[in-house]
Amino acid sequence: MTLIALSIQQWHSPPDPSERADSVTVLGLPNGIEPEYLPDGCVNAQFEARADIIVLTHPNAEMLISRHLPPSLAATLPVVGMGASISQLSLPRCDLKVCSPTRRALSEILTTLKPVVQRNRRMPPSVKSSQDARVLLMARLYVRERGMTPRRDPGVKSTLVYDDNAVVPGAVSIAEHLVNRGMMERRFLDVSTICPFCASARLLVQERCAHCGSANLVEQAILHHFRCGCQRPEADFRAESGDLICPKCKRRLNQFSYDYDRPGSVYSCRACGQISGDAKVSFSCLDCAAQFGAENVGRSEVHSYHLTRPGRACVESGVLLACASEPEADLRERIIAFKKRQAELGHPACVLSIRLTEPNGIPRRGHAWQQTHGLFADLIRECFVASTEIVETGSGFALLLAGDTKADVKKALPEIRHRLESHLALAPTVEYDAQDIEEYIASIRANFVHS
């Protein structure tokens, strides 16, 4: 094991005269690459800080990257897995894999990764030394010139894995944050069907009897006896001898398509005896064992994330992002701006906070609840004037009401309640709270701190 733990001074050590500007420096982990495998123009790195490419020669070496390299290098340097044992494994950090460590293989890899290496070298020092996870994620995607795209993995609950998450923990939420900042864009990729209780996408899909819910179903053909018009499931025609005997006219069915045909099929439930042309699809969650019907199944969109032009410019220029705002700060700023506007106009203003709670037995992520939530949002829009600002909060809505005082709104609450709730079939619990703007800001701050 040749790797030596690096001190801070070493990061700023002068360049090694043996490393030419056009040469590529390879850091072999856990051991350096044997010189005979190194192609022309490629040298083993003397210092990790000088490395252009990391080559893993052992499956366990992946963990050494984050242990021994600074975060920016760990996030941006391309990683190559080399060796038969590595090529069989799923290593999220690896950009490329080769089975055997040969000179030719390394040469091809260098050719492939040359643009990545060049972009990495061009990155401004402020980015290279940054420890901001957002910057690291953007830099990582920038040097690789790719988006952050998930792959399916049944080993995890969501069945989705973003490999970049292994390098930049919390990559998805960081990406979402960057989407809000305009640095990244979200692109629709797919949809996952998820458990409405635990959000697991590991679901077992079963056909069940629509009447008793049993999975003990058997599909059988319908037989149509032309001569007497008897049309029933095959089991009704099947005699003990195995012959087909018409239950109505007692004739033997001899010849398919002359005597009888099979125009369709039905499901027959062995548990309750019900016959139906279609079975009900039900879902069982493999993680929390919940069972639910198609009407309650949850839906989660799968996205890939890509740098936008401002995001690329941010990485190229090295002008870094301001500190991340707290989640409630945006809402608070919006409400303060609203208050300021109303004060300038001389209008009173208040906030009507509406909290929606699903009834017992209705899962929050289920289709039925999502539909009710959507309908409720539409009803709010219809109930209030168009200029009312409606903000969706985690558990409900905040309505920024211009021209009304808290007392006015409290007085109108019975009518508001009637208009909003009279159309809802699921009957959720709805809590209304009219507050002055200052009260509301204080309450969201308190809730945030509490949460």
Partner 1 sequence: MLDILKQAWQVLSAMPDWSLFALFWVTILVEAPRHGMGLQATAMALLLRDYRHYGPLEPLPSVSILLVGHNEEDSIEKCVRSLYQQTFSKFEIVCVDDGSSDQTFEIMTRLWREGLVKSVAHLQLRGGKASAINLAARVAKGEIFLVIDCDCSFEPDAIEELLRPLASDPKVMAVSGNVLVRNWNASITASLQGIEYLLSISLGRAFSDALNQVSCVSGAFAAFRRSAWEQVGGMDIGSGEDFDFTLRLRMRGHKVAFARHAVCYTDVPVSTYNLLRQRNRWERDAIWIRYRKYSRLMSPFRRSFMWTEALHEWDFLIFNLIPTISFPFYIVWMLKEYGEYGLTLLFVVWLGLFIFDIAAFVSAAIVTGKWVYLRLAPFIPIFGLYQSYVMRLNRFYAYTTELIFSSSLTDNFVPKKARDLIDWR
Question: b or e along 336-370 (b: 16 or more beta carbons within 10 Å of the residue's beta carbon)?
Answer: eebbeebeeeeebbbbbbbbbebeeebbebbbbbb
Is the CA virtual torsion 190, 196, 200, 206 positive or negative?
negative
Stretch that binds partner 1, among 275-283, 357-365, 388-396, 433-441 (CB under 8 A): 275-283
Query: By CB under 8 A, is residue 276 in contact with partner 1?
Result: yes
- Cα-trace Rg, the chain: 32
Among 94, 110, 222, 380, binds partner 1 (CB under 8 A): 222
Query: By CB under 8 A, is residue 270 in contact with partner 1?
Result: no
Query: By CB under 8 A, is residue 164 in contact with partner 1?
Result: no
Among 259, 328, 436, 439, binds partner 1 (CB under 8 A): 259
Among 41, 182, 229, 374, binds partner 1 (CB under 8 A): 229
Query: By CB under 8 A, is residue 19 in contact with partner 1?
Result: no
In angstroms, the CA 176 to CA 79 distance is 25
Q: Where are the beta strands (DSSP E) in 201-287?
A: 203-208, 217-225, 230-233, 260-269, 275-276, 280-285
DSSP 8-state symbol, 38: P
Give me the least distance between CB of 295 and partner 1, in Å please.
8
Query: By CB under 8 A, is residue 297 in contact with partner 1?
Result: no
Query: By CB under 8 A, is residue 266 in contact with partner 1?
Result: yes
Q: Are strands 396-402 and 349-357 parallel, antiparallel or unpaired?
A: antiparallel
**Nearest to partner 1 of 259, 436 (CB atom):** 259
**Nearest to partner 1 of 274, 388 (CB atom):** 274
Cβ atoms of 162 and 148 closer than 8 Å: yes
**Nearest to partner 1 of 197, 260 (CB atom):** 260
In angstroms, the CA 232 to CA 224 distance is 7
> Which residues between 332 and 371 bind partner 1 (CB under 8 A)?
none
In angstroms, the CA 449 to CA 430 distance is 24
Among 31, 66, 129, 274, binds partner 1 (CB under 8 A): 274
Secondary structure (3-state) at 142? helix
**Residue 407: both structure tokens together:** 């007392």
**Nearest to partner 1 of 173, 256 (CB atom):** 256
**Nearest to partner 1 of 236, 433 (CB atom):** 236
The neighbouring-strand residues paired with 58 are none
In angstroms, the CA 199 to CA 188 distance is 19
# residues contacting partner 1 (CB under 8 A)? 26
Query: By CB under 8 A, is residue 275 in contact with partner 1?
Result: yes
**Nearest to partner 1 of 60, 265 (CB atom):** 265
Among 15, 41, 169, 263, binds partner 1 (CB under 8 A): 263
Q: Which residue type is seen at 83?
A: G
> Which residues between 239 and 258 bind partner 1 (CB under 8 A)?
248-249, 257
Binding site for partner 1 (CB under 8 A): 210-211, 222, 224, 226-233, 236, 248-249, 257, 259, 261, 263-264, 266, 274-278
